[in-house]
Chain A
Amino acid sequence: MKLLGLVMALLGWLIPVAALTMTQSTAARMVVTLLGIAISLVGILVVLNKAHLKKAIWKP
């Protein structure tokens, strides 16, 4: 799960960067960039964090 979260974080960065050469449209670039940020955030705050919380010291 940790690895998946990390991969999602990196993927969310690479997608909009790679998309720069695929389209010239401002709107399309904006959408892809926001999508990439969302993927990264989900990867970090949901997937990766959940993996850490599984064995949190305060859990019974």
Chain B
Amino acid sequence: MIRMGEGLKRFSWIVLALLLLCGLPAWAQSQSAASSAPAAAAPPPGPAMDAPLNVKAAQPPSADDLAKGDPSGTKTGTVNDVVISDPNKGLTLADTVNQVGQNRIAINFVWTLVTGFLVMFMQAGFAIVETGLCRAKNANHTMMMNFMVYGFGLFAFWVCGFALQMGGVAPAGTLGGAMPLNSEHTLSLLGKTWGIFGSRGFFLSGTTYDVAIMVLFLFQMVFMDTALTIVTGAAAERWKYVAFAVSSVVLGALTYPLFANWAWGGGWLSQLGVNFGLGHGYADFAGSGVVHAVGGLTALAVAMIIGPRIGKYNRNGTPNAMPGHDIVIVLTGCFILAFGWFGFNPGSTLAASGNGALRIGSIAVNTMLAGCTGSFGALLYMWMRYGKPDASMSGNGLLAGLVAITAPSGFVNTVSSAIIGLVAGVLVCLSVEFVERVLKVDDPVGAISVHGTNGLWGVISVGLFADGASNYGGSWNGVSGPVRGLFYGDATQLIAQLIGVGTLIGFVFGLSYAANFVIDLVVGQRVSAEDELAGLDIPEMGALCYPEFVLKPDSMPVGVAMSKATEMASPMRVAQETA
């Protein structure tokens, strides 16, 4: 019994030892698996993208409820309105997610289109501002230039301008990609790649027959047309209509798109940050440079070539007053332009949803403020210098402030906007005097000063005042982080802006001058002296703008006409006479 008992005991020990030997590692493994189980375990299965969702929790209104009408607006726009791809399945998660994405792009489409429509209406503002600042005998001609520049520009931009400008801009994220615009011609020079022009989108045909590209085209087209209409003001009252037509087509098809590509289409100016470490590259939010300086510098080129109006300068070179015929439409036009600018600047986000697009509120207020302080600046300057608040220069001050804030509107705060506008208002007065008295370039509406001078000021002001608070999707021109100017710690941004200014003055002016010089040689830019004295309405257009008005006789000697004009002149003009 004892032996049996000892044997059993020994056996029990052996079994226990085996159990320990085998069991411990197994226990340890199970413990380790248990401790890591929460991390390694697969997430609880979510609803499949194509599985029908239970929409009852959303409490959609019934058909009977809807039939009673919805005066409170609480039953309209519910889960019932989400588009279902497969009626047999009902609403799925995939349907919901797709609807969210489409809603974002739809908001951006509508925003971009509506702001584009506002910018298009600016053509009416430009037309009556310029016509009002011209003499009545040229009103039909001036109005018709502003009217047809829309068509000439649009056609040229559709044929090739848009492709040169935006043909390589993809991806345009806020509009869903616009991916067919994927071909930018580049030059390899000085060890870097330089984007020169795009090459997709001629006639908006082929793969560019795309909804996002149509939206982009409309928005960019009305911007381009704004640049074109600036030139007609500086060359008014003596520009041959056929020369105007050819010049406008060249600007819309070639000059404007080239610079716009460099700034907005992925071209070399926009890459100055990536390639050379200059801030975020040339930053021009809504086009002080691209639109206004291009238009203003082309206006300077044309005005130089075409020469001043007969009677503008005396034999000793002093300027004479040639007041416009309707200050009412001038100031009405300024209001229309200020209204349209709410499309110009806030619309340039190309988005109202996502990627920091909610800055549209800030951009709109900046735009308002700079226009306001611009008119203050001009009004105060004129009042202090000539003793009266001049109406046309107050209007030009408003426009100058708006032009100047166009580039920085997306990057600056309200205090900076007010300063930029105020400087622009004073600058436009100084520039008008400089252009008229020193350069002796005749600019009937002040387009060179409003758009050229202040367009350049707007470009520079980005490099000074950009405050680093904006963040459009985390980067600008491929450089991470927000845009900062010199006053906020980034001097290199100012250099990028100044290179843009140099390009505008050197290249854009040069190209515009050369093109219009050739046009002058081929078709002639200027009307005959007889036609000019008679007023261009009959000789050029075949009809008077105001047939029932008695116009001032033009057969009188220029000196007499000038003295009569001086009698009616604004304070600034009278001061010019006596200076």
Partners in one complex: yes
Residues of A near any B CB (own CB < 8 A): 2, 6, 9-14, 16-18, 20-21, 24, 26, 29-30, 33-34, 36-37, 40-41, 44-45, 48-49, 52-53, 56-60
Q: Verify B441–A44 contact, CB threshold 8 A.
A: no
Query: Which A residues are CB-close (under 8 A) to B276?
Result: 20-21
Q: Verify A9–B495 contact, CB threshold 8 A.
A: no
Q: How far is the CB of A19 from chain B (nearest CB, A)?
A: 10
Known: A17-B503, A49-B304. 6 other contacts (CB 8 A): A10-B507, A12-B502, A20-B276, A33-B498, A36-B502, A44-B300
Q: Verify A41–B308 contact, CB threshold 8 A.
A: no
Return the contact of A33 from the options B304, B307, B441, B499 (Cβ within 8 A).
B499
Q: Verify B495–A33 contact, CB threshold 8 A.
A: yes
Docked complex Cα distance between A18 and B499 (Å): 11
Which residue of chain B has the shortest Cβ distance to A27 in the bound complex? B491
Q: Verify B308–A58 contact, CB threshold 8 A.
A: yes
Q: Verify A13–B441 contact, CB threshold 8 A.
A: no
Which B259-310 residues sit within 8 Å CB-CB of chain A?
Answer: 272, 276-278, 300, 304-305, 307-308, 310
Q: Quick one: given A21-B192, A37-B501, A56-B440, are A14 and B307 in contact (CB under 8 Å)?
A: no
Q: Does B317 interact with chain A (Cβ within 8 Å)?
A: yes
Q: What would be 24 A-B contacts, judged by CB atoms less than 8 Å apart?
A: A9-B505, A9-B506, A9-B510, A9-B513, A12-B506, A13-B503, A14-B506, A17-B503, A21-B276, A24-B277, A30-B494, A33-B495, A36-B502, A40-B505, A44-B300, A48-B304, A48-B513, A49-B304, A53-B440, A56-B308, A56-B313, A57-B310, A58-B308, A59-B315
Docked complex Cα distance between A59 and B277 (Å): 51
A-B contact count, CB below 8 Å?
Answer: 95
Docked complex Cα distance between A9 and B501 (Å): 12
Query: Which A residues are CB-close (under 8 A) to B304?
Result: 48-49, 52
Interface size on B, residues (CB 8 A): 38
Query: Which B residues are CB-close (under 8 A) to A24?
Result: 277
Return the contact of A58 from the options B317, B492, B503, B506 (Cβ within 8 A).
B317
Q: Verify B499–A49 contact, CB threshold 8 A.
A: no
Query: Which B residues are CB-close (under 8 A) to A20?
Result: 190, 272, 276, 278, 499
Docked complex Cα distance between A33 and B504 (Å): 13
Docked complex Cα distance between A57 and B370 (Å): 39
Query: Which A residues are CB-close (under 8 A) to B440?
Result: 49, 53, 56
Which residue of chain B has the shortest Cβ distance to A58 in the bound complex? B313
Q: How far is the CB of A5 from chain B (nearest CB, A)?
A: 9
Docked complex Cα distance between A43 and B411 (Å): 33
Which B482-515 residues sit within 8 Å CB-CB of chain A?
Answer: 491-492, 494-495, 498-499, 501-503, 505-507, 509-510, 513-514
Q: Does B451 interact with chain A (Cβ within 8 Å)?
A: no
Q: Verify B510–A6 contact, CB threshold 8 A.
A: yes
Query: Which B residues are CB-close (under 8 A) to A60?
Result: 315
Query: Which A residues are CB-close (under 8 A) to B305?
Result: 52
Docked complex Cα distance between A41 and B439 (Å): 12
Query: Which A residues are CB-close (under 8 A) to B509?
Result: 9, 40, 44
Q: Verify A58–B441 contact, CB threshold 8 A.
A: no
Q: Verify A40–B315 contact, CB threshold 8 A.
A: no
Return the contact of B513 from the options A6, A14, A53 (Cβ within 8 A).
A6
Q: Verify B308–A57 contact, CB threshold 8 A.
A: yes
Q: Verify A56–B510 contact, CB threshold 8 A.
A: no
Q: Does B314 interact with chain A (Cβ within 8 Å)?
A: yes
From B192, B272, B440, name the one whose CB has the most chain A CB atoms within 10 angstroms: B440
